[in-house]
Amino acid sequence: MRDFLTRLPKAELHLHIEGSLEPELMFVLAERNGVALPYGSVEEARAAYDFQDLQSFLDLYYRGMSVLRTAEDFHDLAMDYFRRAHAEGVVHVEMHFDPQAHRVRGIELPVVMEGLSLARRHAERELGLSSALIMAFLRDREAAEAMAVLEEAAPYWEMLDAVGLDSAERGHPPSKFTEVFMRAAQLGIPRVAHAGEEGPPAYIREALDRLDVCRIDHGVRCLEDPALVARLRDEGMVLTVCPLSNVRLKVVERIEDHPLPQLLEAGLRVTLNSDDPAYFGGGVLDNYLACQRAFGWDEATFIQLAGTAIEAAFIGDARRTELRHRLAASY
Ligand code: ADE
Ligand code: ZN
């Protein structure tokens, strides 16, 4: 099964590139940039990755990214992840990035864009790996700041495959960002949002009704609202689910308790993703393997999941056709 799951051409639709920063690279970049880390060693860093909830993770996530200072750092971060993903049979990566988390540290958007763009070109050329870019807004900061970032990104609008909404969910409903997302819509930029990870099903409804999103990131709490489940199914809405993340952030207690089987049973379009692989114990393949072990799914289920990711990806017709063929040839 491991060989089969590795071979399967997997598209990853939910990854925070800053959450792919492994402790090894964190130490290299800290040294390069003269940044002090709160950990004495790689092992100490990993041992600290023991989270109670989303906020306790976010605290370490924002601290960890303080080592990212130059375009070269962002390039190295993304290439490091792309190489690992490629080795696991990932063929396409859609990465969220958090411009506001860098801006507050004095790292401006052009630095981030230059580094990530260069890495994307390298990955395409060296690994045949395609990618997409999702500029995420931090929902626990003011909407006006998100709007300013969107306007500031004018030179890069063409390069954005979508805008997203992430960070601390509770108390920060999607409706707070209605204006920002309507501006993105006016600009022709697609929209996605984290909703129903820690927040209630009502936030999923708001993301649909107010932000006009084409995908919901996480969305696992939709099961608490049967009418919402019916709506998601009828609209063919895609959920980018991250099972290992949900375990590590205690959205569920154990992987065996994860609602993925119910989501599939309900006829929802589901994909498997890593979220923040450096912090949550593995990449896309590890998420596939964890589900195989927990739920005993057969090959057909994984082919369906991988197929949904290809159908829901921000890619052009030619690449989608190519990935469909690669999927069909892989089993
Ligand atoms: N930022 C990085 N990872 C996140 C997650 N799992 N939820 C919300 N915001 C995030
Ligand atoms: Zn996420």
**SS3 call for 196:** coil
Closest CA relative to residue 97, chosen from 67, 132, 124: 132
Place of tokens 């959205």: 251
Q: Which residue's CA lies nearest to atom 1 of ligand 1? A: 167
Distance separating alpha carbons of residues 256 and 111, to the nearest angstrom: 42
Q: Which residue's CA lies nearest to atom 4 of ligand 1? A: 167
- What pLDDT, on a 0 to 100 scale, did the predictor assign at position 196? 98
Q: Dump pLDDT digits (tens) for 48-78.
A: 999 999 999 999 999 999 999 999 999 999 9
Query: Averaged over 203-225, what is the pLDDT?
Result: 98
Distance separating alpha carbons of residues 71 and 211, to the nearest angstrom: 31
Q: Dump pLDDT digits (tens) for 105-116.
A: 999 999 999 999
Measured in residues, the chain has a length of 331
Q: Is the CB of 167 under 6 A from ligand 1?
A: yes
Return all residues near 165 (Cβ < 8 A) that are at least 6 apart. 136, 137, 139, 174, 177, 181, 192, 193, 194, 195, 207, 211
Return all residues near 44 (Cβ < 8 A) that are at least 6 apart. none
What's the token pair of residue 224? 């608490």
Q: Dump pLDDT digits (tens) for 223-266.
A: 999 999 999 999 999 999 999 999 999 999 999 999 999 999 99
Per-residue confidence at 17, pLDDT binned at 50, 70, 90?
very high
- What pLDDT, on a 0 to 100 scale, did the predictor assign at position 220? 98
Query: For this structure, is 299 an active site residue?
Result: no
Q: Dump pLDDT digits (tens) for 70-103.
A: 999 999 999 999 999 999 999 999 999 999 999 9
Q: Dump pLDDT digits (tens) for 286-298.
A: 999 999 999 999 9
Residue-wise DSSP of 257-268: G-SHHHHHHTT-
- What pLDDT, on a 0 to 100 scale, did the predictor assign at position 206? 98
Which member of 18, 197, 198, 206 is catalytic?
197
Q: Is the CB of 307 under 6 A from ligand 1?
A: no
Q: Is the CB of 136 under 6 A from ligand 1?
A: no
Residue-wise DSSP of 117-143: HHHHHHHHHHH--EEEEEEEEETTS-H
The pLDDT mean for the chain works out to 98
Q: Kindly list the distances between the CA atom of residue 87 and the CA atoms of 135, 175, 304, in Å, as whole numbers in the listed order.
A: 26, 39, 21
Claim: this prediction has a pTM higher than 0.95: yes
The listed CATH number (3.30.499.10, 3.40.50.300, 3.40.120.10, 3.20.20.140) that belongs to domain 2-22+87-102+132-316: 3.20.20.140
Query: Averaged over 25-39, what is the pLDDT?
Result: 97
Q: Is the CB of 245 under 6 A from ligand 1?
A: yes
Distance separating alpha carbons of residues 326 and 56, to the nearest angstrom: 40
Question: Mutate which of 81, 197, 246, 250 to test ligand 1's pocket (most atoms within 8 Å of Cβ)?
Answer: 197
C-alpha 205 – ligand 1 centre gap (Å): 19
- What pLDDT, on a 0 to 100 scale, did the predictor assign at position 155? 98
The values of phi and psi at residue 44, to 5°, are -65, -40
Query: Averaged over 277-305, what is the pLDDT?
Result: 98
C-alpha 39 – ligand 1 centre gap (Å): 22
Query: Averaged over 177-191, what is the pLDDT?
Result: 99
Closest-lying ligand to the alpha carbon of 240?
Answer: 2
Nearest ligand 1 atom to the CA of 98 is 1
Closest CA relative to residue 78, chosen from 38, 126, 34: 126
Closest-lying ligand to the alpha carbon of 18?
Answer: 1
Per-residue confidence at 222, pLDDT binned at 50, 70, 90?
very high
The values of phi and psi at residue 253, to 5°, are -75, -45
Q: Which residue's CA lies nearest to atom 6 of ligand 1? A: 275
Contact, 97 vs 135, CB < 8 A? yes
- What pLDDT, on a 0 to 100 scale, did the predictor assign at position 115? 99
Widest distance between CA atoms in the chain = 53
- What pLDDT, on a 0 to 100 scale, did the predictor assign at position 1? 94
